[in-house]
Structure 1
Amino acid sequence: MQALRIAATGMDAQQKRVEVVSNNIANMSTTAYDARRAEFADLHYQQLRAPGAISSSTGLVVPSGVEIGLGVRTAAVSVNHAQGSLRQTGGDLDLAVEGHGYFEVTLPSGDPAFTRDGTFKKTGEGLIVNNDGYPLAGNITIPQDARSITINNSGEVFVYFDGQTAGQQIGTLTLTTFVNEKGLEALGGNLYRETQASGSPLQGEPGLDGRGTLRQGFLEESSVDVVAQIADMIEAQRGYELNSKVISAADEMLSSATRIR
C-alpha cells in the first residue's frame, strides 16, 4: 500500500530533524556556533484527476482535482546566522565579531577558510593562528620581546615593549562578508568555505561597509536556544510516532484485505 511508503518518508524526515537538533544541542558550548534547521518539501503528486479537467458527463471544468501526495523529503539544512552573546575572557588573542563578518585563515592547501571563532593563539615564532594551527590572514607576527598586545575595534594590532608607553602597530586585521552567508559550506572545526551560492568574499576593515567590529578579550558564544531545541525535538518525536502509527494502521488494513475470502 502507498500509505506504507508515504509514512516511511515521514519517519525518515523526522529522524533527520532529530539529528539536526541533536547536533545543535551537542554544540551548545561551541564558540560562535550557529544553529541549524532542517527544512522539508513535499514529494511528487499522483494526478488522478488534474485540476481544471473537463467533466466527461457535463463538459464543465471541475473546480478541483484529485492529487495524492507521495510523502516528504529533506529540502535543506539551513544555518541560522545569528549573533551569539559575548563572553569576556580577558585573553589578548581572544577576539569576538560584533556584527557581520568572518575571520579568514589559510588552510594547509593554501585555500582560504572563514570562521567567527576568535580563539587565536601564537606559535613559537609569534605567528597568530587558530586552534588548528591555521594562520590568520595577513600573517601577523608578534615580536618575541613584546610585553603586551592590543587590538582595537577597527582591527589595528599594536604591541608594547618594555620601557615604551606608545604602542607600535604591526598590522591590521580584516573581516570578510558574503552576499549569502547561508550558501557557505561547513568544513567542521568552526570553519566555512565559499561556494557559488555564497558569492565571492568581500574583505575589508571592521566597522565599514556593514562589517562588524572587533572586541578584544571576548569570545562569541553559541547562538543555540536550548529550550527551543528541546521543543523541536519533542515535536519531531511526536511526528515520528504518528508516522509509525500510520504504518501500523496501513499494515492492519493490508492484513485485513489479504484475509478476505
Structure 2
Amino acid sequence: MTLYCNGRVASADDLAGALTNYGHFTSLQVRNGAVQGLGLHLQRLQEGTVELFGTALDPLQVRAWMHDALQAEGAVDASLRVTVFSRQFDFRRPLRPVAVDVLVAVAPPVDLPAIARRLRTVRYQRELPHVKHVGTFALFQHRREALLAGVDDALFVGDDGLVSEGTTWNIAFASGDTLIWPQAPALRGTQERLLQAGWGGDQQVRPVALADLTGFDAAIACNAAGIWPIAVIDGGLLANSEALCAKARQVLGAVAWQPLGA
C-alpha cells in the first residue's frame, strides 16, 4: 500500500495528524481507471467534511488526487481509501476553523467472492451512523467476536429492536419478489444506492424488527468490494439468498463505470 497526502507521497509528518483519529473516509474499487458510483463517493466526502470540520471540500481536486495516485503507481485496477482529516485539528479547540488534508491509499484490487455468510445479531449502533468516520474499533471487534462464536459476521440491531446494518456492509432482505431495505440509523452505502436505483422490481424501505427476520426467505450484504448471500441469521435459514445475490450482481453489472481522469 502506498499513501499520498494532498497529491504527494505522504511523509511521517503528514501521517502524524491522522493519529488524532478524527476524520472520515470512503473506500472504493477502481477497474480500468474507473469507479462505479464515483459521484456518490465524492458526495459522501463532501458531506462528511462539512459535518466534522465545517469546511468545504473540492470534489474535483479530490478526484484529481485519486487519479494522480493511480498514475503514480502505474495502476488501472486498485482499491482506494480516501480519508479526510486535518493536521491542524486540535481536540481541545474543536470549533476552530482548520484546513483539511486528503489521504489517498492505493492497494491491490479486491473483489469479494459471493460466498454465503452466516450471521449473528448483536445489540449495537455506531456513533454518528450516517457518517463513514474512522471510529472502526467496535466494528472489527464485533466481527472478531462473531468469528469466535463460530459464524462469519455480525448484524447490528439497535436498542429499539430494529435491524440497521452489518459491521462494514449494508443488508437487504427478500420476501417473495419484494426486496426490503431496513430503515434505521445506518451508513447508507454506495452499493446500496446503486442497487436501489437499478433494481427495477418491487422494493421497500421500511423498519425491520428482529422478530421480522423469520418472515424472509433471502438476504444479501453489499459494500464497495462486492455482494454476497446471507445463508443464516441467528440459526434461521435463508434458502433463496443465492438467487437473490445472482440478481443483485446482474443489476450492479449494468451500472456504468465513471473514469477518474478528466
**TM tier, shorter chain?**
under 0.3
Choose between structure 1 and 2: higher helix proportion: 2
- Answer with 1 or 2: which has the greater Rg: 1
> If the length of structure 2 is used for normalisation, what is the TM-score?
0.22
Q: Which has the higher contact order (CA 8 A, sep 6+)?
A: 1
> If the length of structure 1 is used for normalisation, what is the TM-score?
0.22
